[in-house]
């Protein structure tokens, strides 16, 4: 049996009681970051577990081993570095193989950074599209943002601190009056929401932003006053 266990995106108190119960009872944890998971277990006085390291680089190599353990009746928890496994991480590959092998999967509700980002943005939440991480190349980034803005849904992207300023510059140049929100360091000490037009948000961002970012973009461009 494989449990899909969400972990906090920042504040360790955001974990659910059910997630704690599951982590206590499993035989093994498949994790993206053993040190981060170890810190979480220590925080909640959960006994140490056997780990299997699992990430983008070793997923194909580790999946057969994990499937083997599951077929040997190990109860295993899949966790990501933070948030819900399979959301913009390779967890879906393992889940897909478990489904093929008729292995029971139990997903537990919990943290995902894009949810508090859109809720705190003040932008429409009735329809939204989560795109995951933006492409690194400027041309592909422009194309995806352009497509997203022309839809009838609010768009949500993950972006790195090294590229968020450049991405907002693309928005400023192409869609200066579209409403956006940059959510930074969600649930952490320096949590921040920067809201306004693409032009306004770009000007508010420091030259070298730090932290983890979620970008929320309105579906329609407002008219310049």
* Model pLDDT for residues 75-101, shown as the tens digit of each residue: 999 999 999 999 999 999 999 999 999
Encode 43-105 in three state secondary structure.
HCCCCCCEEEECCCCCHHHHHHHHHHHHHCCCCEEEECCCECCCCCCCHHHHHHHHHHCCCCE
Question: What is residue 65's predicted lDDT score, i.e. its pLDDT?
Answer: 98
At 221, is the pLDDT very low, low, confident or very high (cuts 50, 70, 90)? low
Q: How far apart are the first and last CA of the chain?
A: 58
Distance (Å, whole) CA 51 – CA 48: 9
Task: Provide the pLDDT for residue 200.
Answer: 97
- Going along the chain from its start, the domains and CATH numbers come out as 2-107 (3.40.1010.10), 114-221 (3.30.950.10)
Q: How far apart are CA 145 and CA 167, in angstroms?
A: 9
Q: Enumerate the β-bridge partners of residue 20.
A: none
Mean pLDDT along residues 43-53? 96
| pLDDT the model gives residue 148 | 93
The mean per-residue pLDDT over the stretch 203-213 comes to: 94
| pLDDT tens for each residue of 106-140 | 999 999 999 999 999 999 999 999 999 999 988 99
- Reported as a single tens digit per residue, the pLDDT across 164-195 is 999 999 999 999 999 999 999 999 999 999 99
Instruction: Tell how strand 128-133 and strand 76-79 pair up.
Output: unpaired
């Amino acid at each position: 049996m494989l449990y899909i266990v969400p972990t906090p995106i920042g504040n360790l108190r955001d974990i659910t009681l059910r997630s704690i119960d599951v982590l206590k009872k499993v035989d093994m944890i498949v994790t993206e970051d053993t040190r981060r998971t170890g810190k979480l277990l220590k925080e909640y006085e959960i006994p140490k577990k056997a780990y299997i390291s699992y990430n983008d680089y070793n997923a194909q190599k580790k999946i057969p081993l994990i499937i083997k353990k599951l077929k040997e009746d190990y109860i295993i928890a899949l966790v990501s570095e933070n948030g819900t496994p399979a959301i913009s991480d390779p967890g879906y590959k393992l889940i897909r193989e478990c489904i093929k092998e008729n292995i029971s999967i139990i997903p537990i509700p919990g943290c995902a950074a894009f949810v508090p980002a859109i809720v705190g943005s003040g932008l429409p939440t009735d329809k939204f599209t989560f795109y995951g991480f933006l492409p690194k190349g400027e041309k592909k980034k422009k194309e995806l943002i352009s497509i997203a803005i022309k839809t009838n849904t609010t768009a949500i992207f993950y972006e790195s601190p090294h590229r968020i300023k450049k991405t907002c510059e693309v928005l400023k140049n192409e869609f200066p009056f579209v409403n956006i929100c940059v959510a930074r360091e969600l649930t952490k000490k320096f949590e921040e929401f920067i809201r306004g037009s693409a032009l306004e948000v770009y000007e508010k961002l420091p030259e070298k932003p730090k932290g983890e970012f979620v970008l929320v973009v309105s579906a329609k461009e407002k008219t310049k006053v």
